[in-house]
Structure formats: C-alpha cells, structure tokens
Structure 1
C-alpha cells in the first residue's frame, strides 16, 4: 500500500511539474521567475523543465506550484483561454492589489493573495 501511495504522489508530481513548465511557457516566465515563484533556483527549474527532476509532493515548492496552477486555471476561465490577456493582466499594476500581480506572486503570501483575488472575481461571473 505504501508503494502505491508513493507511485501516486510521484505521478502527481510529474503532472504538476509538467503543467508548471507549460504555464511558464504560456506566460513567458524565465527560469529565474518561475524559480522565484516556487522558491527554487533557476538551475533546479531547468532540471524540472527538461524532465530530469520533479517537484517533491511534500515540499513548499509543490504547494506553491499548486497555487500557480490554480491562478492559471482561474485566469484561463475568466479570460477565455487568452494567454496574452492573462500575461498582460499579470504585468499591469492592479489598483486593488496595489502592485503588479507579476511582482506579488514571488512570495507565497502574494501568490495566495492574487489567487484569492482572481477567484473572488470569478465568483461574480
């Protein structure tokens, strides 16, 4: 049973790692930027992107990755799968957040704040 749980968590890690690499491509995040969001080095991000490593499901980086995926999915739903619009939204100063979401997501607290903000707007739609 423990081996099966390990395989499942490894599979989850592979799926999330792959999804984060795609999000980084869609939003034109450098390895350094994705690393800042996940709390990892640019070199580690490079290894993740090329499949030589996966996020550890027990790590804070994995949790941050889940929030980044949540943000991606929320913006995707709000903006009709328009990656350019999502990227522009991230890069534009937001009066409610008092900063560019792009800058806020470098901290775990900021990432959660941006996710909650977008989800609150999704609830109104």
Structure 2
C-alpha cells in the first residue's frame, strides 16, 4: 500500500511538472519568469522543462504549479481554448485587479488572486 501511494505521488509530480512546462511554453514564460512563479531557480526550471526533474509534491512549488494549472484551465474554458487570447489577457492591464495578471502571478498571493478572479468570471458564464 505504501509503495502504491509513493508511486501515485511520483505520477502526480510527473504529470503536473509536464503540464507546467507546457503551460510555460504556451504562454511564452521564460525560465526566469516560471522560476519566480514557482519559487525555483532558473536551473531547476530548465531541468523541469526538459523532464530531468519533477516538482516535489510536498513543496510550495508543487502547490504553485497546481494553481498555475488551475489558472490555465480556467482561462482555457473562459476563452475557448485560444492560447493567444489567454496570453494577451495575462499581458494587458486589468482594471479590476489593478495590474497586469502576468505581474501578479509572481507572488503566491497574486497567483491565488488571479485564479479566484478568473474562476469568479467563469461562474457567471
């Protein structure tokens, strides 16, 4: 049973790490930017993107990765799977948030705020 749980955590880490790398690619996030969002060094992000390492399920970086995935999925649903529109939305100053969402996601609190904002708009649809 313990081996199976460890295996599931390893699968979760691999899947989330792969998803985060793909999100970074879709949104054009540099290693430096993704590192800031996840709280990781550029070197670690480089290894993550190449599949040489995964996010640790017990880490804050893993949790940040989960929220980044949540944001991606929420924007994807809201904007009809248009990656370019999602990227533009992130880059444009948002009057409600009083900042560009791409700048807010640099902190964990900002990432949560942007996720909650997008989810609130999804709920209205």
Q: For residue 90 of structure 1, what is the aligned residue in structure 2?
A: 90
How much is the aligned-residue C-alpha RMSD, in angstroms? Answer: 0.4
Matching of residues 14-93 of structure 1 within 5 Å: 14-93=14-93
Q: How much does 1:3 deviate?
A: 1.1
Q: How far apart are the structure 2 equivalents of 1:105 and 1:46?
A: 19
TM-score of the aligned structures, taking structure 2 as reference length:
0.99
Deviations 1:43-102 (A, max 9, x none): 100001111110000000000000000000000000000000000000000000000000
Q: How much does 1:39 deviate?
A: 0.4
TM-score of the aligned structures, taking structure 1 as reference length:
0.99
Q: How far apart are the structure 1 equivalents of 2:7 and 2:110?
A: 32
Q: Where does the alignment leave 5 or more consecutive residues of structure 1 unmatched?
A: none
Q: How far apart are the structure 1 equivalents of 2:94 and 2:42?
A: 27
Runs (4+) off by over 2 Å = none
Aligned length: 125
